[in-house]
Amino acid sequence: MIVSEAPSVSRQTLVDWYRRNRARSRALFDLIDPAVYFTRPIALRNPIVFYEGHLPAFSVISFLRRGLGRPAIDERLEALFARGIDPESEHQAIPRSGADTRWPSREQILEYGQAADEAIVAAIQSAEFDIAGREHAAMAGGEAIFTALEHEAMHQETLLYMWHRLPYANKRKPLDLSYDLDAAPPRHQTITVFDGEATLGARRGVAFGWDNEFDARVINVPAFGIDAHSVTNADFLEFIADGGYDRGEFWDDVGWEWRQRENIRHPSFWIRGHDGTGGERWLWRGMFEDVPLPLAWPVYVSQAEAAAFARWKGRRLPTEAEYHRAAFGAQSGGERDYPWGAAPPQPAHGNFDFQSWEPVPAGGRPDGVSAWGVHDLVGNGWEWTSTVFAPFPGFKPMASYPEYSAEFFDGQHVVLKGASPATARELVRRSFRNWFRPNYPFVYAKFRTVSPL
Give the DSSP per-residue string, 180-210. Answer: ---PPPPPP-EEEE-SEEEEES--TTSS---
Q: What is the pLDDT of residues 314-363, one digit of tens each?
A: 999 999 999 999 999 999 889 999 999 999 999 999 999 999 999 999 99
Cβ atoms 303, 384 nearer than 8 A = yes
Q: What confidence score (pLDDT) does residue 289 get?
A: 96
CA dist., res. 295 & res. 308, Å (int): 20
Using CA atoms, how far apart are residues 170 and 38, in angstroms rounded to an integer?
A: 13
Please give the pLDDT value at position 229: 98
Q: How many CB atoms lie within 10 A of CB 151?
A: 20
In this structure, are residues 144 and 59 in contact, taking their beta carbons and an 8 Å threshold? no
Whole-number pLDDT of residue 262: 52
pLDDT value for 6: 33
Q: 3-class SS at 359? A: coil
Length of the chain: 453
pLDDT of residue 139: 86
Minimal CA–CA distance to 404: which of 434, 424, 429, 375? 434
Taking the C-alpha atoms of residue 199 and residue 220, their distance in angstroms, rounded to an integer, is 9
Q: Which residues contact 260 (CB under 8 A, 6 or more apart)?
A: 251
Residues lower than pLDDT 50 in the chain: 1-7, 85-93, 96-99, 133, 254, 258
Q: What is the pTM of this model?
A: 0.92
Q: Considering only CA atoms, which of 296, 298, 227 is closest in space to residue 267?
A: 298
Q: In whole angstroms, what is the distance from residue 297 CA to residue 350 CA?
A: 14
* Residue 97 pLDDT: 45
Distance of CA 266 to the CA centre of its chain: 22
Identify each DSSP E strand in 19-150 by its residue range: none
Contact present, 419 and 346 (Cβ < 8 Å): no
CA 228, chain centre distance (Å): 22
Contacts for 17 with CB less than 8 Å, ≥ 6 apart: 149, 426
Alpha helix ranges (H) inside 242-373: 248-251, 257-261, 303-312, 320-328
C-alpha 150/C-alpha 433 separation (Å) is 13
DSSP labels for 273-285? EE-SSS-EEEEEE
Domains and CATH numbers, the chain: 11-170 (1.20.120.450), 190-232+300-452 (3.90.1580.10)
Q: What is the CA radius of gyration of the chain?
A: 22
pLDDT in tens, 40-84: 888 777 889 999 999 999 999 999 999 999 999 999 999 999 876
The answer to whether 439 and 384 have CB atoms below 8 angstroms apart is no
